Structure 1
């Protein structure tokens, strides 16, 4: 019997995706798909990563301009199964696109100006679908077990994006409202032109407000909705484990949760429930959420023999995740009565002292460039202030990206702000 050679290029692509950090996963996926499907740009839109919902690779004029609103509109039109091809508004103008959804996470993959290497075969689309499913699942896994550095940076990026969006909303809303007032003035003639422009301005105002609301939804989640998603996640366990899982609803008027807190809270509760289910003689587990306005309060309790301890590897891992969000985990265990776990997760980022960046190992020049970035300065301004060339500034910025493990100026600025560097 003849033994065929292993498909090494495909295996190497899968290995590269499996090892890729989230900041590079779009680039790795694009490299893996190019032998089957060419494109000018590749964009991933995933709400699992609330701080960085877009992951992009390819042409700068596309990836720098594509918006969440455009991706959200496209996703709403797609079927749950199979690829979609057609024209879509992306990066400010209609473009040919190839798009797929990952149904379990509702993540979206978009390739602009797609070119099938073999247009007469379905093999290219099948390979793209296969690699996309691996990537989407990998993103879910990476976020579910995110290290402390990712969680802290992601929260900072979420807060920064929300701040910028709010500022843009206020600015453009004022402009459009003034325009509407002027066009509605009885002292103006050309009624038809006034009516037309009024309708256009009103539509733009609604669109801007909708964009602001959508961005807010990505970085905040109502506590009741977050708890309902937890219930959905745990529902399969209640059906097959034989253990009763009780859910005590949080107050409906509780404060909205930052996206990272909601996501981490669900992962923490899932981990606690699974750890408790591994014990003998457990027949019932109760989980309860509450919100005191400053913290999400979580309580998970079982009726086992009280064998679970904080030294358990699963509990230690969950405790590290709680600490990454500056939270606290406490466990009370009583032999014969079970374990009672209390978790408190702050809803606001802790204040950090300015200059608390020693862990980044930045050179003096790199730190100075980062301070300029945090103040909103462009490369030309930084070069003039520091008495160096723009190429040297770019060199320092590239080194900063590597040391901070970020992929863009926005992420670097958000991380700098989270450590106390503010605009001057």
Structure 2
């Protein structure tokens, strides 16, 4: 098997990450819908008929919304920050209306920069996951959600009034940390016993620049490129010499030049640099 077949390309990795993000967001959306339906069915303010009707309406709306969201994800590249925040409020409205949780939404500035689709989706998923984590603890009655934009980053603040025992190592925060890390963002957790916990999240609006491929970043001759390709494939000097029709000493000369130009100290390091 060739080295190209063994090493995933950046494009294929992006497709895998995008698919995983969409699946994770849909799972979160389903979790919020189910939690909201349970809140409706358990509500003492609604009789059985009204509760069933509202639960059916919620499920129907969720299905329609899921289809619309899927279409939007395929076609939308940017979301105004205010619009993205409004969609978050809409996601959480049933849980707030029929549950025992009070949520305070602090609106982002209307002049904030539009959010790339991946950032907007991840931001809503992060907030939903955090709210569900607070609800699962059974101690939180109030949550404050704030978004802001400094032109380079989306800044998310989430605070609850729970016991204040949340830490960065809490298992409930693992999905959030993974989403933040996938976007090259930062997550900090602070807690005050008896006063609640806070999550502060920074999501860059521009993706990190992908490293330039080694063959483009370093100036190689045509023959050096051929030798490099075979080194990456795991070929030894004799095999390289035979395949390219050159002497073993010539292969050593080219490998030496490749090591010098790339700063690699071994063939293994040279191959790893070429693959990355």
- Name the TM-score class by shorter chain: 0.5 to 0.7
1:304 has 2:162 as partner: yes
Describe the shift of the 1:235–1:324 C-alpha distance in structure 2 as closer, same or farther (beyond 3 A): same
Task: Give the Cα–Cα distance (whole angstroms) in 2 for the partners of residues 272 and 312 of structure 1.
Answer: 12
> Runs of at least 4 residues of structure 1 off by over 4 A?
none
- Name which structure has the greater RCO, CA cutoff 8 Å, separation 6+: 2
Residue 211 of structure 2 is aligned to residue 346 of structure 1: no
Question: Residues 23 and 346 (structure 1 numbering): CA distance in 2 closer, same or farther, change over 3 Å?
Answer: closer
Equivalent in the alignment of 2:190? 332
> Greater helix percent: which structure?
2
Gaps of 5+ in 1: 1-21, 25-47, 50-101, 109-135, 144-157, 159-214, 358-362, 368-420
1:276 and 2:134 correspond: yes
Equivalence for 1:364: 229
How many correspondences in the alignment?
Answer: 167
Aligned 8 A contact 1:279 1:307 in 2: no
Inter-partner Cα distance in structure 2 for 1:241 and 1:311: 28
Distance 2:205 2:152 in 1: 6
Assess, with a 3 A threshold, how the Cα gap between structure 1 residues 281 and 23 changes in structure 2: closer, same or farther: closer
Q: Given the alignment of the two structures, is residue 246 of structure 1 paired with residue 98 of structure 2, yes or no?
A: no
Deviations 1:232-288 (A, max 9, x none): 011111023201011000000100000000000000000011111222432100000
Name the CA distance, whole Å, in 2 between partners of 1:23 and 1:291: 27
Distance 1:356 1:255, change over 3 A: farther
TM-score normalised over the length of structure 2: 0.53
Check the 8 A contact 1:276/1:308 in 2, yes or no: no
Residue aligning to 1:103: 64
From 266, 272, 276, the counterpart of 2:124: 266
Task: List gaps (5 residues or longer) in structure 2.
Answer: 1-13, 17-21, 24-62, 216-227, 233-275
Q: Map 1:9-158 to 2 at 5 A.
A: 103-107=64-68
| Partner Cα distance (1:313, 1:356) in 2 | 38
Q: Cα RMSD between the aligned structures?
A: 3.7
